[in-house]
Amino acid sequence: MTGVRVLVRSGGLIAVDKPAGVLVVPGRQDKACMRQQLQESLGQPVWVVHRLDRDTTGVLLFALDAASHRTASLAFEAGEVRKTYLALVSPPLEGPQVVDVPLLPARRGRMRLAGEGEGGKPARTRLRPLERYLQGGLVEAEPLTGRTHQIRLHLQAAGSPLLVDPQYGRPVPLTEAALGGTGEGVVLARTPLHAARLVLPAGGGLPAVDVEVPLPDDMQRTLVLLRLTGPR
């Protein structure tokens, strides 16, 4: 399938590997999107089951018919779907924790952490450090709720924000030299957040889905350079 990497097609569902820099559905100024690409490749309409941010990579699930879309969407709403993300952060996360901080809308499509007594939408994320180095680390993040920019903000709350995040205070792309290497070429220019695994239990006429996809090249290269800085 040209332009779209299909990870699994089962029953009325199809999971694809979303690259960075592509919206899931059309934006105000961007007409090209993952839904359109997949529809053109399949020659049929598809339904969006969930979304990933423009620069987030990894497992993205679509439905091939309205009934499958309804069933899968209800599973997401009921919290029956397990999503596991990988994130590159700095400084490294000290230890496993569950961040339970509500989120509130902010300007220009952003969100912010709610302060004490502000209310906001409940948001919980389970974080676990996988690798820790002098200049950063690899974190596994499991969102227990599905709020916009939840993982990014909860990593900030935990003291380990993403290495690059233009919307939340880290706009500068990272070069090899900045990561402990010797070259001046840019290694990482986007938010290093990757939807690594999605598990949907069988039910309502849908088969079980359990699909994984490895880190994309830019995150792999960044992790290699972080490893060279030595353990923390």
Q: Which residues are catalytic?
A: 53
Q: CA–CA separation, 15 vs 199, rounded Å?
A: 11
Q: Under 8 Å CB-to-CB from 223, ≥6 apart: which residues?
A: 88, 131, 138, 215
C-beta separation of 112 from 56 below 8 A: no
Q: Strands, E, within the chain: which ranges?
A: 5-10, 13-18, 47-48, 57-63, 82-89, 97-100, 103-105, 111-113, 124-133, 136-143, 174-175, 186-188, 193-200, 209-212
Q: How far apart are CA 40 and CA 160, in angstroms?
A: 40
Query: Measured between alpha carbons, how far is 194 from 165 in angstroms, rounded to an integer?
Result: 13
Phi, psi of 80 (to 5 degrees): -85, -10
**Which amino acid appears at position 224 of this protein?**
V
